[in-house]
Amino acid sequence: MTTMLTLTMNNGLEIPQLGFGVFQIPQDETEAAVTTALQAGYRLIDTAQGYQNEEGVGAAIAAGDVGVDDLFITTKLTNGEQGYDKALAAFDESMRKLRVDVLDLFLIHWPLPMFDQYVDTWRAFEQLHRDGRIRSIGVSNFEVEHLERLAAETDIVPAVNQIELHPEFPQDELRAYHAEHGILTESWGPIGQGKGLLENEHIVAVARAKGRTPAQVVLRWHLQLGNVVIPKSVTPARIRENIEIFDFELDQDDLATIAQLNTGRRLGPDPRTFDRR
Ligand code: NAD
């Protein structure tokens, strides 16, 4: 069985360094996928209100052998429910669907700066944290200017910022800001969302040399950067493959080879302009 590494957040609590993402897994397939992941050794599950599969995650937790105290459950406030009161109500709904009493990590999914509600929303998160209903609070898709605004106007520094990050878009500037301010970086789209990264010749070459798969090489790269990483798959063999990354290391040459992939291009939307609610 894999020995899972953990990282320590700025509030002293630990987070598993590898988790299981469930974006785009239909509700009726989510329980089976999460059950496979738990059996493979994953302990962090990353869902969101917007994924419409929190009930499937909750069903897998309720039916599984892993106690809720040994799990780390993350969900995210959906974009349409930003604002103080709406965030509180939406949180209650997630807890009902996930069937847990205390949530490990709640994230603001997108900053939506054009609506100017994320500071108010963050105050609701702070309240839920003070009330003991969420152990850690964080954000997703926040740029430096959004983090700076929270720092200036609110009390709690986010524990985590979950952002698009992979070898083609390594987010050096934001990672440096996070490191300076005690925020953990969590990578979404970490293996390139099935859009060609794993076929890249440099990744394939490192994988061959190491006797590993391209997905394992890229996930190992995330671990060595110090990121939390949450790959998604519905295929049991791949779910197991993606967690077998704690027993090898990339050396400086491998890291230099992978660094060549940086194009600075995103796969997903730009958080400064993304406005879908
Ligand atoms: P990903 O990079 O994890 O790619 C998933 C895809 O890669 C799969 O659908 C499959 O096609 C392929 N794949 C998985 N394992 C493989 C393997 N071993 N070999 C070959 N191909 C493999 O992309 P993602 O799902 O977008 O991101 C991971 C998680 O991040 C999501 O499930 C979700 O939890 C989170 N996420 C968050 C945001 C956000 O805005 N906060 C956005 C997107 C995703």
- Label residues 200-210 b or e (16+ Cβ within 10 Å = b): bebbeebbeeb
Q: Can you point out the beta strands (E) in 90-208?
A: 103-108, 134-140, 160-164, 184-188
What is this structure's pTM? 0.98
Cα(91)–Cα(271) distance, integer angstroms: 22
Q: How far is the CA of 216 from the centre of ligand 1 (A)?
A: 13
Q: How far is the CA of 23 from the centre of ligand 1 (A)?
A: 7
Catalytically active residues are: 51
Return the ligand 1 atom nearest residue 188 CA: 30
DSSP 70: G
Cα(135)–Cα(12) distance, integer angstroms: 11
User: Hey, which of 23, 141, 220, 240 would you mutate to test ligand 1's pocket, going by the most ligand atoms within 8 Å of its Cβ?
Assistant: 23
Atom 12 of ligand 1, residue of closest alpha carbon: 194
| Tokens, residue 114 | 């054009």
* pLDDT above 90: percentage of residues in the chain: 99
pLDDT by position in tens, the chain (length 277): 568 999 999 999 999 999 999 999 999 999 999 999 999 999 999 999 999 999 999 999 999 999 999 999 999 999 999 999 999 999 999 999 999 999 999 999 999 999 999 999 999 999 999 999 999 999 999 999 999 999 999 999 999 999 999 999 999 999 999 999 999 999 999 999 999 999 999 999 999 999 999 999 999 999 999 999 999 999 999 999 999 999 999 999 999 999 999 999 999 999 999 999 9
| Tokens, residue 71 | 């799990």
Cα(107)–Cα(30) distance, integer angstroms: 20
Q: List, for residues 162-178, the tens digit of each pLDDT value.
A: 999 999 999 999 999 99
User: Hey, which of 160, 188, 270 would you mutate to test ligand 1's pocket, going by the most ligand atoms within 8 Å of its Cβ?
Assistant: 188
Q: How far is the CA of 179 from the centre of ligand 1 (A)?
A: 24
- How many Cα atoms are found within 13 Å in the side-chain-facing hemisphere of 227? 28
Cα(205)–Cα(209) distance, integer angstroms: 6
Atom 20 of ligand 1, residue of closest alpha carbon: 215
C-beta neighbour count of 275 within 10 angstroms: 12
Return the ligand 1 atom nearest residue 192 CA: 2
Residue ranges around ligand 1 (CB below 6 Å): 21-23, 46, 109, 140-141, 162, 188-194, 198, 215, 230-233, 238, 241-242
